[in-house]
Amino acid sequence: LSVQSIEQARARLAPYLEPTPLLAAEALSRRLGREVRLKLETLQPTGAFKVRPALNSILANLDACRESGVITSSSGNFAQAVAWAAARLGVSAEVVMMSGASELKRRRTEQLGARVTICENTFEARWATTFRIQQESGRLLLHPYDSDETVAGDGTIGLELIEQAVSPCTVIVPISGGGLIAGIATAVKASRPQWRVVGVQAEANPSMRRSLDEGRRITTSPASSLADALAVATPGERGFDAARRLVDDVVLVGEEQIAGAVRLLGVEHKLVAEGGGAVSLAALLAGKVAGSEAAVCLLSGGNIAAEKLAAILAAPAA
């Protein structure tokens, strides 16, 4: 993946998406003794950064997508984003989701006009179903995290940060399949090699951390977590490659730490984040990101069920 392809993605997205704010988190900065800023991908249409890779994937191949339609498979945030982008661009979209996917994300995807097919709650079934429908339908497959177009779309966040953040800084990024951190690290390290890029996973789903430890892509069993958006069995090739070459560290956070970050964001910063979107802040609060330079926590998504958020807010502060 080249920085050029990320710049190309940025030009493609510009008519559709505004840069997201990089919020100065003053109270957090005081508390942690370093400048903390929050990159608000939660404020994107459909509530997550995924509109960037979804738009870029379709726009890179718009005529073919219009002619054949598209198909993808997603735990939810990419599904909504593809549905949204497809609707805006006049493209037919179908999405395969596992039966355990968030009900909220499924309903939203349908509301945005995509056809949703539910499969068994395993990653094998998910991809088998996706490939089968793709073969039968002739729809173009959009990969949620492991294609050049998705990673380039993700990388546009890095280009924005280069313009918005103070230098030097550490960028803290949630990891699912690794496409997001691959894109961001590619963009950032190309022009700001002294910046650090740190990835975060939930302890429940540590496939990237374990893959790095063992030097090859490891498959883990998906486990239930507040960070449902980050549950992936195996890192993508692009994500794993970037994590080895460009990422300074990958750390894990526990469920209590994730809930604490979601709560803090709501109470102190007036922001709704889903568990997977808040792992970056959870890692920083847990002292897992060393250094005194400025820190940027990427809040990658906010699609948490209202009842789940209510329960976290109603719980006593940790």
The footprint of a copy of itself (CB under 8 A) covers: 18, 21, 23-24, 26-27, 40, 42-43, 45, 47, 263, 266-273, 302, 306-307, 309-311, 313-314
Kindly state the smallest distance separating residue 18's Cβ from a copy of itself, in Å: 6
Kindly state the smallest distance separating residue 41's Cβ from a copy of itself, in Å: 10
Q: Considering only CA atoms, which of 281, 287, 279, 254 is closest in space to residue 269?
A: 281
For a copy of itself, give the closer residue by CB, 37 or 126: 37
Q: Considering only CA atoms, which of 287, 311, 144, 143 is closest in space to residue 226?
A: 311
Positive or negative, the Cα torsion across 146, 151, 152, 154?
A: positive
Kindly state the smallest distance separating residue 129's Cβ from a copy of itself, in Å: 29
Q: Are 102 and 76 in contact (CB under 8 A)?
A: yes
Kindly state the smallest distance separating residue 287's Cβ from a copy of itself, in Å: 22
For a copy of itself, give the closer residue by CB, 160 or 249: 160
- Cis peptide bond N-terminal to 235, omega within 30: no
- In this structure, what token pair is assigned to residue 227? 């960070």
Q: Considering only CA atoms, which of 295, 264, 9, 303 is closest in space to residue 161?
A: 295
What residues pair up with 308 in beta bridges, in sequence order?
none
For a copy of itself, give the closer residue by CB, 24 or 62: 24
Kindly state the smallest distance separating residue 31's Cβ from a copy of itself, in Å: 11
> Alpha-carbon distance 259 to 277, whole Å?
11
For a copy of itself, give the closer residue by CB, 21 or 69: 21
> Alpha-carbon distance 98 to 121, whole Å?
5
Q: Are 305 and 104 in contact (CB under 8 A)?
A: yes
For a copy of itself, give the closer residue by CB, 42 or 176: 42
Kindly state the smallest distance separating residue 208's Cβ from a copy of itself, in Å: 26
For a copy of itself, give the closer residue by CB, 80 or 176: 80
C-alpha angle 231/189/26, rounded to 5°? 70
